[in-house]
Structure 1
Amino acid sequence: MTNDDSGSGRAGGSGLVVRVPEAEPVVRAWRDRLDPAVRSGMPPHVTVLFPFLHESRFDGRTLAAVDDVIGRHQSFEAGFERCGRFPGVLYLAPEPDAPFRALTEALVDRWPETPPFGGEFAEIVPHLTIAQGQDDAVLDEAEADLRGRLPVVTRVASVDLMVHDGSRWRQRASFALR
């Protein structure tokens, strides 16, 4: 999730993410400088679904339904061995990425009113954002530095529900994969 995503700064907005704490020492300096989401408390992560439901919809039944959908998926290991780009954005690309896409698709099947990134993009591209809103020269510099510090490997065992309070992202719940 990036700071300029639809609804990211609205109190009660939410998203589902896989935190990647193993990436923190590798990406911290670049994210601190080049990713505005850091200032609002978003840790290194791969977005599973954003925007998700408004916080007011998170009652026991909804949280149990999210837990059920996520709990049907097996935990897995993911590696980040290369960088990728969108216009003005540098990211780490997870491999395999199919389990991330499967999580997104399962959640959207259950909550079709929450398409990834508001339906702005046709394809689901799992990624860990490093920099956004930057020109190519800055992205080139960051990518050259990061290439020498990869890979990062993580065990994906849970998905966190993050809710925005109007100024910062806070973890509301965590859901375990099988």
Structure 2
Amino acid sequence: MTTSSTPSPFAAGETSLIVKMPEAEPIVSRWRERFDPSAAYGVPAHVTILYPFLEHARIDGRVVTELRELFAAHPSFEARFGRCGRFPGILYLVPEPERRFIALTEAVVARWPEAPPYRGQFDEVIPHLTVADGDDLDAIEVEIAARLPVVARARSVSLEVFDGERWHQHAVFPLR
């Protein structure tokens, strides 16, 4: 849980583009609530398309229209989460096919190159659904893996805005 003495890892006005995965919530919510800092700020189970996106002040009607058109050019698709993956200190679910998520990210970055994924910190985009952030992830992975696979439908991309305390949905862009 967040408190006023706990500094937020996010800045007011930041935005992100995510594909919400409510089908995964029954399996991951218990762990995300305890071990994923973004969950405490109102972020549901999701696969990130682009974080951070443009500052909220830059998102006007033109940007919203362009996002709507961009995502409408991509078909909706089924994603299967059949295994766990790891980054240093992070446990996540691996979406398959990952290429569909990467294509969405690449399309946004091609239009807004000033907004590289994760501020350009990583050379490769690796789609993932974060479950837990911490040191001792083995027991969590055993429990999560026993409940897989999860099959979800990517139907839309959500534009989320951080208001300084929580993330809120600003707009939803259906996939074709």
Q: Considering the TM-score relative to the shorter chain, is it more than 0.5?
A: yes
In 1, Cα distance between the equivalents of 2:82 and 2:13? 34
State which of 126, 150, 160 in structure 2 corresponds to 1:162.
160
Q: Give the secondary structure class of the aligned counterpart of 1:36.
A: coil
Q: Deviations over 1:10-38 (max 9, x none)?
A: 11100000000011010111111111111
In 2, Cα distance between the equivalents of 1:124 and 1:102? 10
In 2, Cα distance between the equivalents of 1:175 and 1:32? 26
Moved over 4 A (4+): none
Structure 1 residues 80-95: aligned runs within 5 Å: 80-95=81-96
Structure 1 residues 97-176: aligned runs within 5 Å: 97-132=98-133, 134-135=134-135, 138-176=136-174
Give the % identical residues: 54
CA RMSD across the alignment = 1.0
**Normalised by the size of structure 2, how large is the TM-score?**
0.94
Q: How many matched pairs?
A: 169
Kept in 2, the 8 Å contact 1:8–1:164? The answer is: no
In 1, Cα distance between the equivalents of 2:9 and 2:123? 20
Once the two structures are TM-superposed, the CA of residue 45 in structure 1 deviates from its matched residue by 0.3
Q: Deviations over 1:130-149 (max 9, x none)?
A: 111x11xx210110000110
Where does structure 1 lack aligned partners over 5 or more consecutive residues?
A: 1-6
Q: Deviations over 1:79-116 (max 9, x none)?
A: 00000000000000000010000000000000000000
Q: Give the secondary structure class of the aligned counterpart of 2:118.
A: helix
In 2, Cα distance between the equivalents of 1:56 and 1:37? 22
Amino acid at match of 1:155: R
